[in-house]
Amino acid sequence: MATQEEITKIIESTDMVELVSPYVKLTKQGKNYKGLCPFHNEDTPSFVVSQDKHLAHCFGCGKGGNPIQFLMDIKLISFPEALTELAKKNGIEIKDEYQPKEQKQDNTIYYEMMSTSAKFYHQNLTLTKSGKSALHYLYQRGIDDVTIKTFQIGLAPATKDALYKVLKEANYLEFNMMDLGLVDHNDQGYYDIFSRRITFPITDEQGHVVGFSARIFDNPDKTQPKYINTRDTFLYHKGTILYHLDQAKTEILRKKRFILHEGQMDVIASTYAGLKESICTMGTALTLDQAYVLKRYANHAIICYDGDKAGINASKKAIGIFKKAGMQVHLVLLPDGMDPDEYVHTYGQEEYVKYFESHILDELEYNFETAFLNVNLKDSFVIETVKNIVFEQIQAMPSQTAKEKYLELLARRINGSLNAILADFEAFTKTSTFSTPYNEDYEEEPIFLKPIEEEKNYRNYELRLFLYARNSKERALKIDKRLGDFMNAFSPINQEIWIQLVNVYYAEYDEFDDQLFCSILSEEQKTTYLNNLDILRGSIEPYSDEDLECILEKMEDMHYKISNQEINKVIESTNDMELKKTKLAEKFKNKKKSMSNRRK
């Protein structure tokens, strides 16, 4: 454990103004600095920073303290994590007990690789001749140098294996590069996944880089998709990760709301317009798990998707998910089918914020407004179409007061008489099939893909267990205990490798390392092990408890299938009736045991 002397040294070595400045705009007042509190809303600055005393304190809400306390509050991290971060920042060594949990696990090397990759891409964009054209493109999109630095935007070189060579020179293993979705290989050798693309690092809630979203740039192959994201890995699950959440969470807590966008360019545009509580999903529809992650920080969701048909449909699905999570939902509908990035680029940051704050709609208002988006109300046929859309919305409203309000709004919007609208609505209700769009079921996007399918070869199950076991010693031991007497479901060579992993390697080491593990295997075992990884890499489903449970059940099934086959052979090859009865009883016992295990 760090000594009090070490803690004091860390506090006194920290430049408090430098620490606070990324979160608070400070103005010097005498010896101290002052700014608006990052922990609560206020119009008059009451957050005071004393550089001499190494303290920050809000005289409004009382939040603040020494550098460690401030970092804990602003980043929502533990004392050991804050202490470790400040120690590293100031070049002070402390004992291992104060390392954060994430750093004690075997993911450390993966976080380092992702960070190295992000820095390499960023430097390639900002410091090389090849990055100039990409920089010019970003400047045209309204992204300045401050934004590029804050979001660590980068450029993957055109050279097909540039990142691979950098990581290889840093002594990282190909297994790990491929596990993270950074490189792949073919007959010509290893190649980078994101070549010729502008890169946007994706971070988890603790700020670790866990993946990339990459936009095509200057690629002669026009068949390539505009955006690609890191595939699901043990660090990155697209169904739970939210872009910019690690930087936005302080503002979300302060404003008690978050803004959900469709893409990272919209998040960047909104953030630098002043709406720093902006986040987005990564190439998928919102999931219920993402909603629960966000609910830990705020209960108020504001959805601001594109104003086109796809954006509107996605918004309506997101409403259902947030409501299922028990959250308050509002929406912003931008005009002319625009997205936030386009609006900021066209009208400027100040106008965007003005429009946003003055056009926050509830669910009923949003659905009503979408009916009038990009339509010509001078066309009588269009008017009839819009009327029927709005009538269907109104019919589903649970409140008579709301129905009357929107019938009046409809009459004013299409310049029709209220009496005529009421008559048309009455006729509509008599002929239409009733539906309830405000309570409709939504198809929730799964966090993970479905567990491996029944028809897949059983060998894939045993191979996938190795991937789970490599990720965690604790998980490996739990799997081993669960397998128990079912090890005959493994092929003989994989049984040997499994025993080496659980009983030999993990008996000595807590963290998994491919190179070290391979060093204890025989040549035959090593070849089989590497072939196993190669078979599954690039085509496996993401890690999940559901998938692991499915694998273990199939392994048990395989065990009983093998056992019954052996019993059947004995039964078929003997004329001894007593032996037949014994073996049939054993077969029944196995089946009963299997059913009992499933119920546990």
CB proximity list for 67: less than 8 A, separation 6 or greater? 10, 11, 14, 16, 19, 54, 86
C-beta separation of 330 from 361 below 8 A: yes
Among candidate residues 506, 442, 447, the one with its CA nearest the CA of residue 474:
506
Identify the three-state secondary structure at position 443. Answer: coil
**Domain-wise residue ranges, the chain:** 4-103, 108-229, 245-370, 380-431, 458-599
Distance of CA 74 to the CA centre of its chain: 21
Among candidate residues 253, 218, 207, 223, the one with its CA nearest the CA of residue 102:
207
C-beta separation of 29 from 44 below 8 A: no
CA distances from 458 to 312, 365, 379, 489, 549 (A): 43, 53, 63, 9, 14
> Which amino acid makes up residue 355?
Y
C-beta separation of 54 from 14 below 8 A: yes
Write the DSSP symbol of residue 243: B
C-beta separation of 250 from 267 below 8 A: no
Sheet holding 154-156, edge to edge: 154-156, 197-203, 209-216, 227-229
Angle at CA of residue 474, ends 472 and 476, nearest 5°: 70
d(CA 303, CA 49): 35
d(CA 529, CA 589): 35
CA distances from 94 to 6, 98, 556 (A): 7, 7, 47
Crossing angle between the packed helical segments 458-471 and 545-573, to the nearest 10 degrees: 140
Write the DSSP symbol of residue 438: T
Tokens of 241: 């990760």
375, HSE (Cβ side, Cα atoms, 13 Å): 19
Q: Is the dihedral of CA 98, 100, 104, 108 positive or negative?
A: negative
Per-residue pLDDT for the chain (600 aa), expressed as one digit of tens each? Answer: 467 778 888 898 999 999 988 888 889 888 899 998 888 777 788 889 998 888 998 888 778 888 888 888 787 777 788 888 888 888 888 765 444 443 444 588 899 999 999 999 999 999 999 899 999 999 988 899 999 999 999 999 999 999 999 999 999 988 889 989 999 988 888 999 999 999 999 999 889 999 999 999 988 887 888 889 999 888 998 888 999 999 999 899 889 999 999 999 999 999 999 999 999 998 788 998 899 889 888 999 999 998 888 889 899 999 999 998 889 999 999 988 888 999 998 999 999 999 999 999 999 999 999 888 878 888 888 888 889 899 999 998 888 999 999 999 999 999 989 999 999 999 888 886 555 444 444 444 333 333 334 334 445 677 778 878 887 888 888 888 877 666 666 777 888 888 888 888 888 777 777 767 877 888 788 778 877 766 665 444 445 677 778 778 777 776 666 555 544 555 455 555 555 445 455 544 554 444 444 434
Tokens of 509: 């080491």
| Element at 531 (helix H, strand E) | helix 523-536
Architecture (CATH level 2) of domain 4-103:
Alpha-Beta Complex (3.90)
Beta strands in 354-510, from DSSP E residues, in sequence order = 360-361
Backbone φ and ψ for 576, nearest 5 degrees, come out as: -75, 110
| Element at 197 (helix H, strand E) | strand 197-203
Identify the three-state secondary structure at position 276. Answer: coil
Domain 245-370 sits in CATH at 3.40.1360.10
Backbone φ and ψ for 360, nearest 5 degrees, come out as: -85, 115
The CATH superfamily of 108-229 is: DNA primase, catalytic core, N-terminal domain (3.90.980.10)
d(CA 362, CA 352): 19
First and final C-alpha spacing in the chain: 42
Angle at CA of residue 453, ends 449 and 458, nearest 5°: 125
C-beta separation of 135 from 182 below 8 A: no
Please determine whether the domains at 108-229 and 245-370 fall in the same fold group of CATH: no
